[in-house]
Structure 1
Amino acid sequence: MSSSFFIALQEASVKYPTGSGAHTALANVTLLIEPGEWVTVAGPNGSGKSTLAGVLLGTCRLTAGRMVRKEHMDIRGVLQHPESQHIGDTPAEEFAFALNDRHLSKEELRQIQKQALLRVGLELSPETPLNSLSGGQKQLVNIAAALATAPDMLVLDEPTAMLDPAARELVLRVVRQAHLQGTTVVWITHRLEEAVYASRIVAFREGGVAFDGAPETFFYGDPATASGSETPCERIGLDPPFVVQTALHLKKKGHGLTARPLSFDDLAKAVSRLCL
């Protein structure tokens, strides 16, 4: 095991009791997350993604296996349902709780609150009642509070599920900025177009890890594999993002596209080279 890891799961399992026995949410998962990574976690509904988030954040106990965390690591999370993690009644109270170990003056805290809210596109008073905000605004408050702490590691479980396209793009951008400044990111999503910044994709199926590797391999397959074979993304039963679908279509039509683009910019560059 690498000595530089942040979190290591070793044969980790989680089972929930049900009326007929037990439901296995995670099954013998071994996973290593190292500093500086952006790990995108994907998979069908019910495959174990949110359970993984709970395990990493310490809100879900393992029933078998173990988790090892680096000492003195600051890990923050943003959950799929914003109300489930609110502590206070206003954004100001949320920030005060998140930053309570920083020994900040009232003026320092006020400036951090203002800047953090603007960072995620919220022009509102920190004293605004949370119950007056929309679900998307509440989620942006949670993201702002998590980013304000400059954590070592940030776990985001479907953070953009309640946001419109413009807000989703903004959140991706500010999390990307935090990542470039050193924060390790675990981004759990069903929107595979959000995997553009991933250094690695971990895909779950029925509680287990079905793929762990490079995004290009997940979406396009192993270059050494025969052309036309099913990609890991397709084998898991997921639809690749539009950029990947377009590139795969061009390849199948014999247009000579050799690139494996993940972003619209990469696709545009690859297509423009075909026209030269």
Structure 2
Amino acid sequence: MSAFPRLGALAPTGATGGIIMMLLGVLLFAVNDTLGKWLVGAYTVGQLMLVRSIAGLCTMAPSIIRAGPYAFLRPPRPGLQLLRVAFSTLEGSLFFWALTELPLAEVMTYYMAGPIYVTALSPFLLGEQVGWRRWTAVAIGFGGVILALHPSPGSLSLGAVCALVGSFSYALFLVATRKLAGTPGTVLMTAQLLAALIFGGTLVVIQGWTPPGLLDLTLMLLLGIGSLSGNLCVNQSLRIAPASVVVPYQYTLILWGMLFGYVFFDEVIGPMTMTGAAVIVGAGLFIFLREQQLRRRGQRRGRES
């Protein structure tokens, strides 16, 4: 995210600095999602995605220019690149559609299950081994999703389906991103934004355009800038502090979702959803910490050999 080249120099360093940057990034994501829920009540999903992607591309323009045209002409593994942007566009649009029917914190809860899905998919798509401890955590995490869904004959709404499919698409997006780890971030993000631009523009042609006022147009533009800024803070956090220290703080997103949902939309999630969120967070934290433990063990063995 070198579109903001000076933030890295201004950011605090060390574990404390990493935690601050992670918390700031998560807060920016929460504010961004709240803006999205506010706007999706008056404008179509396509319109939001179109304006957001335009703002993101304009913000990234300096990085795109520095990368030069050759970085984009022959991207590595083009088929996988295409799948990645398809999953990214799908999860982003479904997130907005889910917000039209579900409380903010509930949609965030479903998406926080994404890393659990990644663990379940990794033996099949990434060739990674998953031991019984993590499989147990995956099963418990799925149980948390079912609790959050609180299934009943009338509870499986269109919004819940959008959130579930969107969170699974998010997991597939994470898997594809992991497999493209050697690709420059500017190339990956530019491809995401261009795909969202095309998809949003297509939806606008189908659904029509609602002329926004100056304030609403500004908020739509902030959706793109806020998303990039949040990613920048999270990336900076991971650069200056160990992942095991800062990643657990990403789950504060659900707390922000509960607070902003209550303050701005008078939303209070039920006890089943709250319990499911707690189970998902617990399972996700266990999986992450277990992976960190195994990684450190592997590094020690490598040094000893």
Q: TM-score, normalised by structure 1?
A: 0.26
Give the structure with the larger strand fraction. 1
Higher Rg: 1
Give the structure with the larger helix fraction. 2
Which structure carries more relative contact order (alpha carbon 8 Å, separation 6+)? 2
